[in-house]
Amino acid sequence: MTDDRPAAVLFDMDGTLVDSEKLWGIALGDYATYRGGELSEATRAAMVGSNMSTSMRMLLTDLGLGTSDAEVSAAADWVEARSGELFRRGLPWRPGAQEVLTGVRALGVPTALVTSTIRSLAEIALDTLGRDSFDATVCGDEVGGRNKPDPEPYLRATRLLGADPARCIAVEDSPTGVAAAVAAGCTVLAVPCEVPLEPGERRIVRESLEGLDVRALGSLLPGG
């Protein structure tokens, strides 16, 4: 691998590789209806990129319900089951995502999936993404509660790959995920899906992954 290539490319999943945020929205809305309420648009937007337990606390608070550990756990079980049903029907790729993932793999650049989604649901998604598409996977229930925007998910991925974060590209769609990758020291290719993304430190905002030249990814790194 030549020096102008990134050490690794680290992919978020929901809203980045696959258009699963809409399916999450259905599952969350169904739970709200089940509990006799309605999820507000503001709370739904704030959930994007968050892990399951954080999202459940936000959901329960939005519905005016209790947020004890037992309530959060019960809500998570319900939403996990409903999301699993939806995921098994098939996950649509985000525009250009499959081509970028395939292109990066063809270059021989290591890849990791770094998602806030729990392992059981990520395993279903891997039926679409391909289990041989990644050299490592980090899920939301595997980081000891240090979920995005904490840098630990991305740092864990770089440790698994033996890669210097400063030489890694993270591909993200949410402010929460972007913050995590930047805090880990990665350069971020930010492609918004459900919520807007603003330019900032070590990030390149792009409207879509369509037409991206994966051979030029190294140019996004500092000094590239």
Q: What is the 3-state secondary structure (H, E, C) of the chain?
A: CCCCCCCEEEECCECCCECCHHHHHHHHHHHHHHCCCCCCHHHHHHHCCCCHHHHHHHHHHHCCCCCCHHHHHHHHHHHHHHHHHHHHCCCCECCCHHHHHHHHHHCCCCEEEECCCCHHHHHHHHHHHCCCCCCEEECCCCCCCCCCCCCHHHHHHHHHHCCCHHHEEEEECCHHHHHHHHHHCCEEEECCCCCCCCCCCCEEECCCCCCCCHHHHHHHCCCC
Instruction: State how far the Cα of 145 lies from the Cα of 141, in Å rounded to an integer.
Output: 7
Query: Which two three-digit tokens encode residue 222?
Result: 């500092």
Residue 14 falls in the annotated catalytic set: yes
- Tell me how far the alpha carbon of residue 200 is from its chain's centroid: 19
Residue 69 falls in the annotated catalytic set: no
Q: Could you say which of 12, 62, 141, 150 is catalytic?
A: 12
pLDDT of 51 reads 84
Q: Could you say which of 3, 4, 14, 19 is catalytic?
A: 14
pLDDT of 20 reads 87
pLDDT of 3 reads 55
In terms of CATH, what superfamily is 8-19+92-220? Answer: HAD superfamily/HAD-like (3.40.50.1000)
Instruction: State how far the Cα of 166 lies from the Cα of 223, in Å rounded to an integer.
Output: 11
Q: How many residues does the chain have?
A: 224
What residue ranges of the chain have pLDDT lower than 50? 1-2
pLDDT of 1 reads 39
Query: What pTM, to 2 d.p., does this model score?
Result: 0.87
Instruction: State how far the Cα of 44 lies from the Cα of 159, in Å rounded to an integer.
Output: 32
CATH 1.10.150.240 boundaries in the chain: 21-88
pLDDT of 223 reads 82
Spell out a b/e string for 28-45, using b for 16 or more CB atoms within 10 Å of the CB, else e.
bebbbeebeeebeeebbe
CATH architecture assigned to 21-88: Orthogonal Bundle (1.10)
Instruction: State how far the Cα of 180 lies from the Cα of 85, in Å rounded to an integer.
Output: 29
